[in-house]
Structure 1
Amino acid sequence: MEKVRLTAKEKSELWGEGIITVILLLMLNLALVVILKEVTAQNPKLQNAIWGIKNVVVFGQDTHLWSWRYPLTGLMLVVDAVVVYWRLIRRYHQMQMRHVIAELHYIASGHLDHRINFAVGTDLQKVINSINALVESAVNSMAEERRIEQSKDELITNVSHDIRTPLTSIIGYLGLIEDGQYKGDEELVKYTHTAYMKAKQMKVLVEDLFEYTKARQTTTPLNAVSFNMVAMLEQLAASYELEAERADMSFVVTGKPDPLIMEADTEKLGRVFNNLIVNALKYGKGGKHIYLDAEKIGSEAVIKVSNDGPQIPNDSLSSLFDRFYRVEESRSQETGGTGLGLAIAQSFVTLHGGYIYADSTPELTSFVIHLPLQLGTTLQKPKE
Structure 2
Amino acid sequence: MKKQKVILTTKEKSELFGEGVITVILLLLLNLSIIILLNLAVLNDPRLENGIFFLKKTITFANGMHLWSWQRLFVGVMLVGDAIVVYWRLIRRYRQMQLRHVIEELHYIADGHFDHRIPFVVKTDLQKVIDSINALVDSTVASMEEERQIEQSKDDLITNVSHDIRTPLTSIIGYLGLLKSSELNEDQAKYIKIAYDKALQMKALAEDLFEYTTLRSSTNNKLVLAPLHVNSMLEQVAAGFELEAEKKNIAFNVVTRPRDLVIDADAKMIVRMLNNLISNALKYGHGATEINLIANKVNNKFVELRVENNGEQIPKKSLQKIFDRFYRVESSRNLKTGGTGLGLAITKSIVDLHGGTIKCQSTSELTSFIIQLPLNSPKAK
Secondary structure of the corresponding residue to residue 327 of structure 1: coil
Change beyond 3 A, Cα 1:327–1:375: same
Residue 344 of structure 1 corresponds to: 346
Of structures 1 and 2, the larger Rg is shown by: 1
Q: Is the 8 A contact 2:223 2:379 kept in 1?
A: no
CA distance in 2, matches of 1:155, 1:339: 19
Residue 15 of structure 1 corresponds to: none
Structure 1 residue 209: Cα displacement: 0.1
Q: Is the 8 A contact 2:309 2:367 kept in 1?
A: yes
Change beyond 3 A, Cα 1:221–1:150: closer
Residue 232 of structure 2 corresponds to: 231
Residue 272 of structure 2 corresponds to: 271
Secondary structure of the corresponding residue to residue 332 of structure 2: helix
CA distance in 1, matches of 2:309, 2:331: 21
Structure 1 residue 194: Cα displacement: 1.2
Residue 367 of structure 1 corresponds to: 369
Query: What residue identity is the alignment partner of 1:205?
Result: L
Q: Is the 8 A contact 2:254 2:292 kept in 1?
A: yes
CA distance in 2, matches of 1:303, 1:126: 51
CA distance in 2, matches of 1:361, 1:373: 29
Structure 1 residue 326: Cα displacement: 0.9
Aligned length, in residue pairs:
247
Residue 293 of structure 1 corresponds to: 294
Structure 1 residue 257: Cα displacement: 0.9
Structure 1 residue 282: Cα displacement: 0.7
Query: What residue identity is the alignment partner of 1:375?
Result: S
Change beyond 3 A, Cα 1:152–1:290: farther
Deviation readout 1:53-74 (Å, 9 max, x if unpaired): xxxxxxxx97xxxxxxxxxxxx
Structure 1 residue 145: Cα displacement: 3.2
Q: Is the 8 A contact 1:353 1:377 kept in 2?
A: no
Tell me whether 189-198 or 310-319 shows the greater mean CA deviation. 189-198
Structure 1 residue 317: Cα displacement: 0.2
Secondary structure of the corresponding residue to residue 370 of structure 2: strand
Q: Does residue 1:284 correspond to 2:279, yes or no?
A: no
Change beyond 3 A, Cα 1:288–1:148: farther
CA distance in 2, matches of 1:338, 1:234: 26
Structure 1 residue 258: Cα displacement: 1.0
Q: Is the 8 A contact 2:277 2:307 kept in 1?
A: yes
1:103-142 correspondence to structure 2 within 5 Å: 121=122, 129=130, 132-142=133-143
Secondary structure of the corresponding residue to residue 264 of structure 2: strand
CA distance in 1, matches of 2:250, 2:285: 9
Deviation readout 1:257-315 (Å, 9 max, x if unpaired): 11111100000111100000000111112110000000010201100001000000001
CA distance in 1, matches of 2:358, 2:288: 23
Change beyond 3 A, Cα 1:356–1:193: same
Residue 187 of structure 2 corresponds to: 187
Deviation readout 1:198-237 (Å, 9 max, x if unpaired): 1000000000000000111123110000011121111111
Q: Is the 8 A contact 1:212 1:343 kept in 2?
A: yes
CA distance in 2, matches of 1:185, 1:332: 26
Residue 198 of structure 1 corresponds to: 198
Secondary structure of the corresponding residue to residue 211 of structure 1: helix
Identify the match of residue 330 of structure 2 among 315, 328, 331: 328
Query: What residue identity is the alignment partner of 2:284?
Result: Y
CA distance in 2, matches of 1:357, 1:332: 26
Q: Is the 8 A contact 2:201 2:335 kept in 1?
A: no
Change beyond 3 A, Cα 1:253–1:329: same
Q: TM-score, normalised by structure 2?
A: 0.57
Residue 304 of structure 1 corresponds to: 306
Residue 42 of structure 2 corresponds to: none
Q: Does residue 1:207 correspond to 2:212, yes or no?
A: no
Change beyond 3 A, Cα 1:300–1:123: farther
CA distance in 2, matches of 1:348, 1:356: 10
Change beyond 3 A, Cα 1:253–1:288: same
CA distance in 2, matches of 1:196, 1:347: 30
Change beyond 3 A, Cα 1:371–1:134: farther
Structure 1 residue 188: Cα displacement: 1.3
Residue 357 of structure 2 corresponds to: 355
CA distance in 2, matches of 1:186, 1:319: 43
Residue 255 of structure 1 corresponds to: 256
CA distance in 2, matches of 1:134, 1:363: 52
Q: Does residue 1:216 correspond to 2:219, yes or no?
A: no
Query: What 5-or-longer segments of structure 1 have no aligned partner?
Result: 1-60, 63-116, 178-183, 379-384
Residue 17 of structure 2 corresponds to: none
Structure 1 residue 377: Cα displacement: 8.2
CA distance in 1, matches of 2:279, 2:352: 20
CA distance in 2, matches of 1:366, 1:152: 35
Structure 1 residue 369: Cα displacement: 0.5
Q: Is the 8 A contact 1:231 1:259 kept in 2?
A: no
Q: Is the 8 A contact 2:225 2:266 kept in 1?
A: yes
By relative contact order (CA 8 Å, sep 6+), the higher-ranking structure is 2
CA distance in 2, matches of 1:221, 1:123: 51
Change beyond 3 A, Cα 1:141–1:368: farther
CA distance in 1, matches of 2:326, 2:333: 13
Residue 68 of structure 2 corresponds to: none
